[in-house]
Structure 1
Amino acid sequence: MHTIVMTGASRGIGRIAAEQILRRSPDVHLVVVARGTSGAQLSEELSAGGHKVSSVSADLASLESVRTAATEIRDRLAGGDLPPLRGFVGNAGIQYTNALTAGPDGLESTFAINVLANHLFVRLLEDRFTAPARIVITVSDTHFGDFRHNLGMVPGPVWQSSDVLARIGAFPQSDTATAGRTAYSTSKLAAIYLVHEYARRLPTGIDAVAYNPGFVPGTDLARNADPVSRFVMRRVLPTMILTPLATSRRAAGRLLADVVLGTTEAPTGSYVDRQHVARSSKESYDPQREAEVWDTAERVIAEYVD
C-alpha cells in the first residue's frame, strides 16, 4: 500500500482521475483535500467498492489552512495511519473574474491557490515522501499565450516580479474579467517554473511533472464567471470535444491518472501535454524567473513551515 494526496478531486477531471487511480491501482490509499465537509462525502463516494480513501479539510486560499491539512497528513504518516507517501497531485485550480480577489492572507487568490498552496504542500510533505514518488501539478496551455493554445478566450501571461503577482492589482484594469484571466494564465506559467525548480532541488527519486490537459470545456474552472460565460462554458463549448481543439473531461481525467500512476513515462521536470512529453512555451524556460518564483514562494510560506 502507498498514499497519494490529491487536491481538486471533487469535480471535473480531478474526480475522473481519482476514480481511475483507485480502480487501476488497488494498493493506493487516496487522501483527498477538499473544502469544509465536502471531503467526507467525497471520500465516502470514492471508497465505494472497497477502495481506501480518506479526506482532509483545507481552504486552499488560506496558507494557514493548507498548513493545518499538511500537518495532519504528516502526523498520520508518522503514526502509521497512512501507508508510505508516494504521490502528490496538485490539481485544484481557479480562475476569477478580476485580479482583485484576496484570500485570508491578503494574497491574490489565483496565485495563492494555483501556485502557493501547491508549494506549501510540497515543502511540508517533502521529507515524508518515500521514493520512488511523483508530484504532478496540473497546468494549462494558456501559458503559451497564442491563439492556437487559448482559442482567443484567455489572454496570455503577462510576467512581472513574482512578488507583484502574489498581490492584488498586478495587472491593468484589475477589476475586469480580462485581468482575472491574465492572472490565471500567468499563474500557470509560474507553476511550470516551480516544477522546473522542484526537478533541480528535490531529492533523487521524487519526480515533479507538469500536466496539461488541454482545453477542457464543461468544467467548473470558470465558476466565478458571469452567467452568460458560465452558460457558454458548460453548454456551448463542450461541443468542441468533437474536434481536435478540445479534450473531454473523461479523457483529460484518464490522462491525468496516467501521469500520476506513471503509465505516461516522464522524467522529472517534464511538461506532459495530454499523453506525451512535450516542450512547454519558450517563455517557460527561464532559470532566472524560476529561481525568482522559488524565492518568492519560500519567503511567503516561511512562517508556515517552522
Structure 2
Amino acid sequence: MEHTIVMTGASRGIGRVGAAELLRRSPDAHLLVVARGSSGAPLVSELGAGGRPVSYVAADLGSLESVRSAATEIRYRLDSGELPPLRGFVGNAGTQYTNALTETPDGFEATFAVNVLAHHLFVRLLRDRFAAPARIVITASDTHFGDFKHNLGLVPGPDWKSPDVLARPGAFPKSNTATAGRTAYSTSKLAGIYLVHEYARRLPAGVDTVAYNPGFVPGTGLARNADPVSRFAMRHILPVMTLTPFATSRSAAGRYLADVVLGTTRAPTGSYVDRGRTDRSSRESYDPRREAELCDSADQFTAAYAAGADAL
C-alpha cells in the first residue's frame, strides 16, 4: 500500500544511505525529505533517479518557525491527497557545536533546538496525520552512556539538568569550550531517548516510536562545526576504525536505519535499537519523571508554533 515517510537528515552521512535503502527496499514508499534551502531539489533528483517517488519540503531545523511552516505544508499535502497516507517519520538530523553558547533565532541553545525541539515539533504537528500502523524513529547515540566502552572517551557523557536550563545557552560549565559543546550533544541524545519513552506512553495505539543508535560512525558531517584538525581526523583517519568492532561504517549504519524504519528489525514501541538489534539503553535513560517533565517542557517551548495542535 502506498504511504509517505518523512525524513530529516537525509542529505548526507547515514541518512543519505538510509534514504536510498528505504526507496530501494520499499517501492510503495513516497519519501518526503526535509532539506535546507536549495539543497532539496538536487537531493530529490539524486534519490529519485529511475522514477522513485521522492519530494522535499524546505526547512531550517534551527528555526522553529521554519519547522512549523514545513510541517504545515506536509499536513496540507497529505490532506489534499498529493501525498499518500503518512506511516513514518525519521528524525535523523543532528548537530554538534564547538560550544554550548550558540543561540537560535528563537532564543534556544542550538544543539537542543535542532536535536530535540525541532523533531518534537514535527511529531506534535503531524501526530493526528499518522495512519496506523506507523513508526517514528529518532536517531540517538551511544554517547548518552557517557563511558569509555561506548565512545572511547571521545565525547563527555550527558549532564542532565532541568529542561528550562538545557534549552538555553550556557547550561554547562565553561560553555565557550568544545567540551561543553560535546556535552550538549550527548545530553541532547539522552533527551531524545527520554522523549521516545514518553511518546510510547502518549501517542495513539498503532503509532510506534523507536530510538536508533548507529554507533560511532566516523566520516559523517557531524564534525562540520569542529576545528580543522578534528574535521580532518573524522574524515580521513578515524574511518579506519570501521574495520574494528568499535565503529560502524556509513553504509552499514544507513542499512541498519532502514531496517528499523521498515520494521525489519523488530522493536516494540519505546525500544532502543543498537545498530541491528534491540537492546537496553543506559541506566540513566530510564526515568519516567524526567521523561514526562521533558515532554511537557518541549510542549511549552513549542506552544507558540503549534497553534491548533493538541499537546502530546
Query: Could you state the TM-score of these two structures normalised by the residue count of structure 2?
Result: 0.98
2:164 and 2:197 mapped to 1: Cα distance? 19
One-letter code aligned to 1:215: F
The corresponding residue for 1:125 is 126
Q: Quote the Cα distance in structure 2 between the aligned partners of 1:56 and 1:37.
A: 10
Aligned counterparts of 1:267 and 1:40: Cα–Cα separation in 2:
35
**Which position in structure 1 is the counterpart of 2:265?**
264
- How far the C-alpha of 1:256 sits from its partner, in A, is 0.1
Q: Which residue of 2 aligns with 1:161?
A: 162
Task: Please name the residue that 1:174 is paired with.
Answer: 175
Q: After TM superposition, give the deviation of residue 49 of structure 1 in Å.
A: 1.0
Q: Which amino acid aligns with 1:47?
A: G
CA shift for structure 1 position 37 = 1.1
User: Residue 188 of structure 1: SS of its match in structure 2?
Assistant: helix
Matching residue of 2:291: 290
For residue 30 of structure 1, report the CA deviation from its aligned partner: 0.3
Partner of 1:23: 24
1:99 aligns to 2:100 (yes or no):
yes
Distance 1:45 1:219 in 2: 19
Q: Which residue of 1 aligns with 2:89?
A: 88
The match for 1:135 is: 136
1:276 Cα shift? 0.5
Deviation (angstroms), 1:235: 0.6
2:7 aligned residue: 6
Deviation at 1:250, TM superposition (A): 0.2
State the aligned residue count: 306
* Separation in 1, partners of 2:186, 2:215: 13
Hey, which bits of structure 1, 4+ residues long, moved more than 2 A? Answer: none
Q: Which residue in 2 is equivalent to 1:32?
A: 33
Measured in 2, the distance between the counterparts of 1:168 and 1:209 equals 28
* Whole-angstrom CA distance in 2 between matches of 1:70 and 1:40: 18
1:150 CA displacement: 1.3
CA distance in 1, matches of 2:235, 2:46: 24
Percent sequence identity is 77
3-state SS in 1 of match to 2:241: helix
Distance 1:82 1:192 in 2: 29
Question: For the residues of structure 2 that align with 1:59 and 1:19, how far apart are their CA atoms?
Answer: 22
Which 5+ residue runs of structure 1 have no aligned equivalent?
none
1:243 aligns with 2:244: yes
Distance across 2 between alignment mates of 1:86 and 1:127: 11
Quote how far apart the aligned CAs of 1:26 are: 0.5
Give the aligned partner of residue 230 of structure 1: 231
3-state secondary structure, aligned to 1:223: helix
Measured after TM superposition, the shift of residue 41 of structure 1 is 1.1
Deviation sequence 1:234-261 (CA, Å, 0-9, x none): 1110000010000000000000000001
Matched letter for residue 144 of structure 1: F
SS where residue 9 of structure 1 aligns? coil
Q: 2-side partners of 1:101 and 1:146: how far apart?
A: 26
Q: Deviations over 1:69-107 (max 9, x none)?
A: 000000000000000000000000000000000111010
Letter aligned with residue 248 of structure 1: S
Q: Which amino acid in structure 1 is aligned with residue 45 of structure 2?
A: E
1:192 offset after TM fit, Å?
0.3
Looking at structure 2, the residues matched to 88 and 29 of structure 1 have their Cα atoms a distance apart, in angstroms, of 12
AA matched with 1:93: G
C-alpha deviations, 1:142-196, integer Å up to 9, x for none?
Answer: 0000000111110000010011000000000000000000000000000000000
What residue number does 1:192 align with?
Answer: 193
Q: Confirm or deny that 1:108 pairs with 2:109.
A: yes
Counterpart for residue 252 of structure 1: 253
* Aligned-residue offset at 1:295: 1.1
Amino acid at match of 2:293: E
User: Which residue of structure 2 lines up, in the alignment, with residue 304 of structure 1?
Assistant: 305
| RMSD, matched Cα | 0.4
1:50 aligns with 2:51: yes
Task: Find the counterpart in structure 1 of residue 207 from structure 2.
Answer: 206
Q: Which runs of 5+ in 2 are unaligned?
A: 308-312
- C-alpha displacement of 1:213: 0.2
